[in-house]
């Protein structure tokens, strides 16, 4: 079973959604977790848009990537899902691991009314859903070649 860690800055949105989707689409082939470098609390709008997908994140906590490292946790894949600008600040998770970067916009920086933010967040959610499906297909195909090709399909 491949262990996968999704990391974003706060573990409040993108990494939580990616973890939930891998649990949903991985058919028990993966052990998914998510963490942040500066964990805060889960974004209530994320809870709302994931509930629309039948996923309940209302009781989900956040965790620190550094705490996982200190606990000696080892992962087959570490996937950063923060924006390209934030990814440059992400330290490399140590150990024998395949590090991947799949960037998504930061939901904490969305602007507009509540409904406008929800609409933008649904777009990010849908992108994450499709990326996780692509990741699963890529791993099942042997993990060789261009991951982004699988994500775009």
- Residues forming the active site: 8, 82, 90
Tokens matching residue 82: 């923060």
Yes or no: say if 128 and 14 are a contact pair by the CB < 8 Å rule.
Answer: yes
Distance CA 43, CA 139 (A): 29
**Over the Cα atoms of the chain, what is R_g?**
15
Beta-strand ranges (E) seen in 9-141 are 30-36, 77-80, 98-101
Matching residue, tokens 């848009």:
49
Reported residue count of the chain is: 153
Q: Which of 34, 56, 21 is nearest to 137 (CA)?
A: 21
Yes or no: say if 81 and 52 are a contact pair by the CB < 8 Å rule.
Answer: no
Tokens matching residue 91: 């330290």
């Amino acid at each position: 079973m491949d262990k996968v860690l999704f990391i974003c800055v706060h573990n409040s949105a993108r990494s939580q959604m990616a973890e939930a989707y891998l649990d949903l689409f991985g058919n028990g082939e993966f052990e998914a977790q998510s963490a942040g470098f500066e964990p805060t609390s889960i974004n209530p709008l994320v809870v709302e848009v994931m509930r629309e997908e039948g996923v309940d994140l209302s009781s989900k906590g956040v965790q620190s990537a550094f705490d996982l490292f200190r606990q000696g946790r080892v992962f087959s894949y570490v996937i950063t899902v923060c924006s390209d600008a934030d990814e440059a600040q992400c330290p490399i998770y140590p150990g024998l691991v395949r590090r991947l970067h799949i960037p998504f916009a930061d939901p904490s920086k969305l602007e507009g009314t509540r409904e406008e933010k929800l609409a933008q967040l649904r777009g990010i959610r849908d992108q994450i859903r499709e990326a996780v499906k692509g990741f699963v297909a890529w791993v099942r195909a042997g993990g060789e070649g261009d991951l982004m090709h699988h994500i775009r399909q």
